[in-house]
Amino acid sequence: MQLTHFDENGKAIMVDVTEKNDTVREATAKGRILVSKEVYDAIEAGTVGKGDVLGVATTAGIMGAKRTSELIPMCHILPITKCRVNFEMKPEECAIDCYCTVKVTGKTGVEMEALTGVSVALLTVYDMCKAIDKSMEIGEIYLCRKGGGKSGEIRNEKIDGQKARPCQN
Amino acid sequence: MQLTHFDENGKAIMVDVTEKNDTVREATAKGRILVSKEVYDAIEAGTVGKGDVLGVATTAGIMGAKRTSELIPMCHILPITKCRVNFEMKPEECAIDCYCTVKVTGKTGVEMEALTGVSVALLTVYDMCKAIDKSMEIGEIYLCRKGGGKSGEIRNEKIDGQKARPCQN
Amino acid sequence: MQLTHFDENGKAIMVDVTEKNDTVREATAKGRILVSKEVYDAIEAGTVGKGDVLGVATTAGIMGAKRTSELIPMCHILPITKCRVNFEMKPEECAIDCYCTVKVTGKTGVEMEALTGVSVALLTVYDMCKAIDKSMEIGEIYLCRKGGGKSGEIRNEKIDGQKARPCQN
Amino acid sequence: MQLTHFDENGKAIMVDVTEKNDTVREATAKGRILVSKEVYDAIEAGTVGKGDVLGVATTAGIMGAKRTSELIPMCHILPITKCRVNFEMKPEECAIDCYCTVKVTGKTGVEMEALTGVSVALLTVYDMCKAIDKSMEIGEIYLCRKGGGKSGEIRNEKIDGQKARPCQN
Amino acid sequence: MQLTHFDENGKAIMVDVTEKNDTVREATAKGRILVSKEVYDAIEAGTVGKGDVLGVATTAGIMGAKRTSELIPMCHILPITKCRVNFEMKPEECAIDCYCTVKVTGKTGVEMEALTGVSVALLTVYDMCKAIDKSMEIGEIYLCRKGGGKSGEIRNEKIDGQKARPCQN
Amino acid sequence: MQLTHFDENGKAIMVDVTEKNDTVREATAKGRILVSKEVYDAIEAGTVGKGDVLGVATTAGIMGAKRTSELIPMCHILPITKCRVNFEMKPEECAIDCYCTVKVTGKTGVEMEALTGVSVALLTVYDMCKAIDKSMEIGEIYLCRKGGGKSGEIRNEKIDGQKARPCQN
């Protein structure tokens, strides 16, 4: 199958979307960070009073999503119309899940914006906790839902930790 | 334990490193992307001739590492003196591993730069292949090695897919 | 009253404007810098020949307005269609007033762009004069006029230095 | 007196600081935003639970301070080693005061970084509250203290609302 | 003739394009770099296997084109819908020609985006080869074609090295 | 000869300069824009009163030089300590020459910063005049002088329009 981001000579290009329609497009991506018990407790304490790690990470994730086209070489500039970053605490796994939902009326989708928002938000959590724990791990970053555009509605579900967990946001 | 990125009132701060010494600091981070067989083959074909996905992702990763302080709110601006992004193809797992090594002579470490470099490089791979496969997954992003600074040499090794696989770069 | 930039759980969000109409929107903001007589004279001399402080500040203000969405976390990216920065010398008060007018056809207003343009322009004046005077003061930054969008035409007028001075641009 | 940011022909320049010494330099700037009672109450409520306007503004201010050299044309790039943004609620005046303290070991001072941090933080407060009140005003942005460098310690104090109120941070 | 980027008082402005129509606009710019035989051979070798200078430069050119409005003060922000950078090796002249084609549906043209893309791509070639040759020269950067908008189709052709060489892309 | 920006496998890298000495380094680059008589006269008129094209371009060039490491993928981040952009009017050739001189105390040179400063300044001139003339040409961009670092003093002189014209700044 042909990679769309290269021309007939194998040179990288920003795909021409000029003729595509402006439609409402939406995407939700998900990711998680695995932390030590000590970090987990510090983050949880922060959400109820002081040292609000997830508050700073939310802001960073939204700002990061807006800068996707600066970071990802072949991404189009998209004036996104909505961005939301959420976290879910998973005490039994010492994990924090992050969801980012992005929306636009445009000629191309916002999957990369959602994935970038998740990535920057989780890197921010990492940064603020790395003095306590240097073995945290960021992972399971994937697109869980997209809507609009030519490919229409798509959902990736995970079962038993394999690719396919349902997600909503 | 106290989170270092907050003051005594729980307000987020950029930590004061003025009095810390300028020493050589280095860090290597690792991550991977899981792709379909079809994407895997397209990427592998690209590295031997046309449609060089990993070449574009290498450039994006290096540029992303340089912009870490713009993305991660409490990160210091570091004039990094080296940045290298490498990929390793893992055919048996349909995975591509990415390593980013960053070096600086400075007052604080470059873990976040290495982790950001890996993240942006993998997001770029995702972007260039997403027309073929919308269920790729980015994960296992962690710091595998750091050197220099107060905490000295640290290695995170993984055994059997659990946190602790040794890595070198 | 509910703050619009937070969701029902108090988490910061970029407001969803997807369903809003694209209409012509315009905003003018104003601010001023109070300087010493010496600085005032140097700036005035510059406008008539050499050392054109206000020329540099005009350029900086326009460039700053374009980058509003990078600086203000919850601001939408707006491809503004007009930006104008003007200064008025106020000799009797040793003040320089700055106006910034921004226009867009979009789903949300350009108040923040106008306010950011004024702020960056005045900070630039400050920067270029701070070797002479370290007690300058920037102030009275407010929205003096906006048009378009749901809230329609709004004017803030100031009387006797209190909020409400009329402004035009 | 000669403006330092222009050459002998009146052309704007970035001042040559190559030969200046690397010394520890610090600066604190202050500013305030005047808001309606309704906005004041909403912000205050946010600091004790949900809708944390000042938390977002703190993050924005720190990130803004780091980008000063991109916004202010003749500013040098400074790898700042500390940045702190604080707010003080002033109920009797319906005002919120903002302080930003920045530190660096470098060849030139960080006044502009502190002033930019304050400006961006206050613009962020404005943005998040503008749906409630469109007549807010940002003002009294000035350098309250700087230390280090050739000009040494400087304090601007304000008496009775005139330039000269003492400030500390 | 009046310069359009200044108002009636000679102050720089970002031209108001609010009332202009959104139409498809396209532009192709061209430039070249003259290098030593040694550099030429190294670049040519790279394109067939390792050290792919032009691959990196292609990525840089596309990313540079996207950031035109940040670099050129009076340029509008344009969400470009296509960007392509190509190189042509000219062995007889030890030259490498670069073409950049940009497309948008918007209110103003993309000439500056195409010219900026060419400039950044050629600067990147320069950077990667400057350890071998410090006397390279970048030149002949011009708009070879534009279409759409009020001024319609325009072609600049060059004859015998003078302005007017035909170009296509 | 080996290209320094690639590793032993031909992968692009940011060269490791960690062990290099911090020394004073300086570079001057030059370029020119060829314009129509009409544009030339408009620019010249602007420099003596209104519509100061070269003033805006000077500011843009300095700001562009500061952002070199964001644009050129393998460039190091350099906190430059001086930047100066100058223009020389060449009436007999309908040309405007641009010089950019950059200085730093660092581990690597500032050639790319000087070349980028020239490029952005000339692109800005182009942008502001393109409504009058669409056949302008930017060219002859080269490094005319560098000092400091391992390679020491280098001068590129041009004779009869060939590479080697002496330049000073």
Q: Identify all chain A residues contacting C18, using CB atoms and an 8 Å cutoff.
A: 24, 81-82, 103-105
The CATH code of the domain that includes A109 is: 3.30.70.640
Interface membership of E80 toward A (CB under 8 Å): yes
Structure tokens given for A36: 């030590």
Task: Look at A149-163, B110-124, D11-25, E126-140 and tell me which has the smallest mean pLDDT.
Answer: A149-163
Q: What angle do CA A31, A34, A39 make, to 5 degrees?
A: 125
Q: Which residue has the tokens 């040559």?
A: D16
Task: Answer whether residue C13 is part of any domain.
Answer: no
Task: Answer whether residue D155 is part of any domain.
Answer: no
Structure tokens given for A79: 């004036």
User: Which tens digits make up the pLDDT trace of A86-142?
Assistant: 999 999 999 999 999 999 999 999 999 999 999 999 999 999 999 999 999 999 999
Distance, in Å, from the CA atom of C88 to the CA atom of C118, rounded to the nearest integer, reads: 13
Interface membership of F51 toward D (CB under 8 Å): no
Distance, in Å, from the CA atom of E123 to the CA atom of E60, rounded to the nearest integer, reads: 9
Task: Answer whether residue B9 is part of any domain.
Answer: no
Interface membership of C60 toward F (CB under 8 Å): yes
Interface with A, mutate which of B28, B123, B151, B154 (most A CBs under 10 A)? B123
Amino acid, res. E52: D
Give mean pLDDT, residues D15-33. 94
Q: Is the dihedral of CA C34, C36, C37, C42 positive or negative?
A: negative
As to burial, measured by CB atoms within 10 angstroms (0-12 exposed, 13-18 middle, 19+ buried), residue D73 is buried
Residue C151 has a CB neighbour count (10 Å cut-off) of 12
Could you tell me which of D68, D8, C60 has the C-alpha nearest to residue F86? D8
**For residue B154, what is the enclosing H or E element?**
strand B154-155
Interface membership of E14 toward C (CB under 8 Å): yes
Q: What is the span of the domain harbouring residue E81?
A: 23-145
User: Which tens digits make up the pLDDT trace of E87-102?
Assistant: 999 999 999 999 999 9
The backbone torsions φ and ψ at residue A121, rounded to the nearest 5 degrees and listed phi first, read -60, -45
Distance, in Å, from the CA atom of F19 to the CA atom of F25, rounded to the nearest integer, reads: 16
DSSP code, position A78:
-
- Inter-chain contact B18–D62, Cβ cutoff 8 Å? no
Q: Which one is predicted more confidently, F103 or E167? A: F103
Contact yes or no for A107/A21 (Cβ under 8 A):
yes
* pLDDT reported for residue D109: 94
Interface with A, mutate which of E26, E53, E59, E66 (most A CBs under 10 A)? E66
Structure tokens given for A38: 């000590």
Task: Answer whether residue B166 is part of any domain.
Answer: no
Q: Identify all chain F residues contacting E42, using CB atoms and an 8 Å cutoff.
A: 1, 3
Q: Which residue has the tokens 């050629």?
A: E122
- How many alpha carbons fall within 13 Å on the CB side of residue B67? 27
- Inter-chain contact B52–E52, Cβ cutoff 8 Å? yes
* pLDDT reported for residue F166: 36
Distance, in Å, from the CA atom of D95 to the CA atom of D165, rounded to the nearest integer, reads: 15
Distance, in Å, from the CA atom of B147 to the CA atom of C143, rounded to the nearest integer, reads: 51
Task: Answer whether residue C14 is part of any domain.
Answer: no
Could you tell me which of B23, E12, A9 has the C-alpha nearest to residue F60? E12
Q: Which one is predicted more confidently, E167 or C67? A: C67
**Pick from B3, B55, B123: which is nearest to A128 by CB?**
B3
Task: Answer whether residue C10 is part of any domain.
Answer: no
Could you tell me which of C35, B9, C126 has the C-alpha nearest to residue D114? C126
User: Which tens digits make up the pLDDT trace of F79-126?
Assistant: 999 999 999 999 999 999 999 999 999 999 999 999 999 999 999 999
DSSP H stretches of helix in A11-101: 37-47, 53-66, 68-71
Task: Answer whether residue F161 is part of any domain.
Answer: no
Looking at chain B, the whole-number percentage of residues with pLDDT higher than 90 is 74
Residue C66 has a CB neighbour count (10 Å cut-off) of 25
User: Which tens digits make up the pLDDT trace of A88-100?
Assistant: 999 999 999 999 9
Complex confidence, ipTM? 0.94
Identify the band that residue C106 occupies on the pLDDT scale cut at 50, 70 and 90.
very high
- Inter-chain contact E80–A76, Cβ cutoff 8 Å? yes
Identify the band that residue A50 occupies on the pLDDT scale cut at 50, 70 and 90.
low
D128 is in an annotated binding site: no
Q: Identify all chain C residues contacting D120, using CB atoms and an 8 Å cutoff.
A: 71-72, 119
Residue C41 has pLDDT above 80, yes or no: yes
Coil, strand, or helix at residue C108? coil
Could you tell me which of B47, B28, B52, B33 has the C-alpha nearest to residue B122? B33
Identify the band that residue D47 occupies on the pLDDT scale cut at 50, 70 and 90.
low
Interface membership of E84 toward A (CB under 8 Å): yes
Coil, strand, or helix at residue A29? strand
3-state secondary structure C34-55: ECCHHHHHHHHHHHCCCCCHHH
* pLDDT reported for residue E49: 52
Task: Answer whether residue A21 is part of any domain.
Answer: no
Question: Would you list which residues of B are annotated within the binding site for substrate?
Answer: 74-76, 112-113
Searching chain B, which residue's CA lies closest to the CA of residue D86? Answer: B11
Residue C167 has pLDDT above 50, yes or no: no
Q: Which residues of F are catalytic?
A: 127
Residues 6+ apart with CB under 8 A from F114: F27, F28, F29, F65, F100, F101, F102, F143
As to burial, measured by CB atoms within 10 angstroms (0-12 exposed, 13-18 middle, 19+ buried), residue E140 is buried
Q: Which residue has the tokens 């939700």?
A: A28
Structure tokens given for D158: 């304000």
Contact yes or no for C14/A62 (Cβ under 8 A):
yes
- Inter-chain contact C134–D146, Cβ cutoff 8 Å? yes
The backbone torsions φ and ψ at residue D62, rounded to the nearest 5 degrees and listed phi first, read -65, -45
- How many alpha carbons fall within 13 Å on the CB side of residue C95? 13
Distance, in Å, from the CA atom of A100 to the CA atom of A115, rounded to the nearest integer, reads: 7
User: Which tens digits make up the pLDDT trace of D99-140?
Assistant: 999 999 999 999 999 999 999 999 999 999 999 999 999 999
Taking CA atoms, E58 is separated from E117, E169, F84, in Å, by 9, 15, 29
Q: Identify all chain D residues contacting C146, using CB atoms and an 8 Å cutoff.
A: 134
From chain D residues 122-151, the ones with a CB under 8 A of any chain B CB are none
For the CA atoms of B8, B10, B14, B17, the dihedral, rounded to the nearest 10 degrees, stands at 30
Across chain B, mean pLDDT equals 89
* pLDDT reported for residue D31: 98
Q: Identify all chain A residues contacting D56, using CB atoms and an 8 Å cutoff.
A: 55, 59
Tell me the DSSP string of D38-93.
HHHHHHHHHHTTS--HHHHHHHHHHHHHHTHHHHSTTPPP---SEEEEEEEEEGGG
Distance from CA of C47 to the nearest CA of D (A): 10
Q: How many domains does chain F have?
A: 1
**Pick from C24, C62, C77: which is nearest to E73 by CB?**
C62
Q: What angle do CA E127, F62, D106 make, to 5 degrees?
A: 90
Distance from CA of F46 to the nearest CA of D (A): 14
A112 is in an annotated binding site: yes
Distance of CA C136 to the CA centre of its chain: 18
Number of H helices, E strands in chain D: 4, 5
